[in-house]
Amino acid sequence: MSPRVDVPIADLFERARTGERRALGRLLSFAEAGGSRADELTDLVHPHTGGAHVVGITGAPGAGKSTLTGQLVAHADDAGMRCAVLAVDPSSPLSGGAILGDRIRMDPVVRPGAFIRSMATRGHGGGLSLAVPAAIRVLDAVGFDRVVVETVGVGQIEIDVASAADTVVVVVTPGWGDAVQANKAGLLELADVLVVNKADRPGADDSRRDLELMLDLTVLGAWRPPIVLTTATEARGIGELHGTLVAHRSFLGDSGTLPDRRRRRARHELVTRVEVLLARLTRSQVATPDGLALLDAVAERRTTPSAAADSLLHAVIARA
Amino acid sequence: MTGASVTGAEPSPDPTEATDAEPSDLTPIRIVLAKLGLDGHDRGIKVVARLMRDAGFEVVYLGLRQTVDMVVAAVEQEDADAIGISMLNGGHLTLAPRMVEAVRTAGLDVPVIIGGIVPDADIAKLLEAGVAAVLTPGTPAEELVRVVRGAVSGA
């Protein structure tokens, strides 16, 4: 947008709340970059949050998450619900760059006014786990009714991100695996809603049956994750998915589980914040003469890694 | 230029060797890449997207059949630093000035870079219309990266 001049964050926030997309875009960059400005932003918007329904959509690459997300946003929009999308894609571990291609699936279906933001994982340890909650908070505070966070469900970070949502949607496709796969621990355990996308393909009913079998063997609370069949490219099943999300949000409120969810999210965020802080302190401690001496001691087998780590930790805590 | 390597790229920061620097100092340049109108030749823009990713850029890839308004909306939402438009169908004298105009009308200060088949005689016209740079076939990857970085920093 404009040159990177220092517009006060509070001004940007006021402009973003009145619907100015550029201001919101800039705020999300601050949230994404982390550091002191992100903290300032978080402090500012935190009191205004809590109104949005945060939906995480995750699943294997190619499952149709972006198309599904686009259709879902278009449908919710028609129902008078304002949605924002946070689409997370991986950064290259080699160059740090990224190709963020989710808009290509969403732009054709969403209305011109819909807000979509692409976010790269950017590799810095724990960074994404902080950037995503910070960005969600901004979108929540400016008044979106629903914030959809889309991630590729392959890594731990992505799983963390998805599980920070109020409602977690896991997308599978026909032929993705059988009942044994379904019973392996992982992403499916986190699901509040299961989607079999590309349901026009052979095997959709088998997938549904396998998922039902998995759920039968799972100790469930009062909410049994519904299984929704969709064909996102033809907008089939989208109304049912939308209704299911609304129902889950109501369930969270009525059953009193929403505070638990939000506490879980807060715990995850706080622990990550401290981890990131500790990691930064640890790296700079390692670079001190004492730290370098420790590295030598371990490399030359004069001390053990665990003893050296203990001594490093004590030094870090003393500094913190 | 498909096989060219980007030697001019800055290496990505290794998270395990990060210092106390503010994380925002490490923010990659974000560029929106798109094709306007009915020009369906997207081989080139895909190559460029890949080159730029490998040079450490974050590429917001919009692909085919975009309007200038769609590009502007994406730039605003993505807080992008630059716009790259690929044009291979001779529509550049019509569409490139429209793109520049749309960016100005929106009050954005984001350089528009045109890549593709542009006759030499037209390059000056595009620059006059406010295009930041024109990159034609055969441009080495290093040059591409240098030009985009330069356009973003206002050099």
Residues A173, A196 contacting (CB under 8 angstroms):
yes
pTM to 2 decimal places: 0.87
Who wins on pLDDT, A146 or A273?
A146
Who wins on pLDDT, A165 or A2?
A165
pLDDT tens digit string along A293-316?
A: 999 999 999 999 999 999 999 999
Q: Which two tokens stand for residue A200?
A: 């026009």
Residues A39, A146 contacting (CB under 8 angstroms):
no
Mutate to test the interface with B, among A2, A27, A37, A100 (most CBs of B within 10 A): A100
Asked if the interface predicted TM-score (ipTM) of this complex is over 0.90, the answer is: no
Nearest-Cα residue of chain B relative to residue A31:
B24
The 10 Å CB-count burial string (b at 16+, else e) for A241-256 is bbebbbebbebbeeee
Pairing of β A167-172 and β A53-59: parallel
Mutate to test the interface with A, among B6, B10, B12, B30 (most CBs of A within 10 A): B12
Residue A127, pLDDT score: 67
Confidence of residue A188 (pLDDT cuts 50, 70, 90): confident
- What is the greatest pairwise CA distance in chain A? 68
- Each of the 155 residues of chain B gets a pLDDT tens digit; together they read 333 444 444 444 444 444 444 444 468 999 999 999 998 999 999 999 999 999 999 999 999 999 999 999 999 999 999 999 999 999 999 999 999 999 999 999 999 999 999 999 999 999 999 999 999 999 999 999 999 999 999 85
Give contacts of A287 with chain B, Cβ < 8 Å.
19
Q: Mark yes or no for CB contact A29/B27 under 8 Å.
A: yes
Instruction: Give the Cα separation of B15 and B8 in Å (integer).
Output: 21
Give contacts of B155 with chain A, Cβ < 8 Å.
none
pLDDT tens digit string along A25-69?
A: 999 999 999 888 999 999 999 999 999 999 999 888 889 999 999
Long-range contacts of B116-120 (CB under 8 A, 24+ apart): B116/B44, B116/B86, B116/B87, B116/B88, B116/B92, B117/B87, B117/B88, B117/B90, B118/B87, B118/B92
Q: Mark yes or no for CB contact A284/B154 under 8 Å.
A: no
In what side-by-side order are the strands of the sheet with A115-120? A115-120, A83-89, A146-152, A53-59, A167-172, A193-196, A227-229
Q: Mark yes or no for CB contact A35/B13 under 8 Å.
A: no
Q: Mark yes or no for CB contact A112/B74 under 8 Å.
A: no
Nearest-Cα residue of chain B relative to residue A278:
B20
- CB of A34 within 8 Å of a chain B CB? The answer is yes
Residues A237, A228 contacting (CB under 8 angstroms):
yes
Q: Which two tokens stand for residue B86?
A: 């690929």
- CB of A123 within 8 Å of a chain B CB? The answer is yes
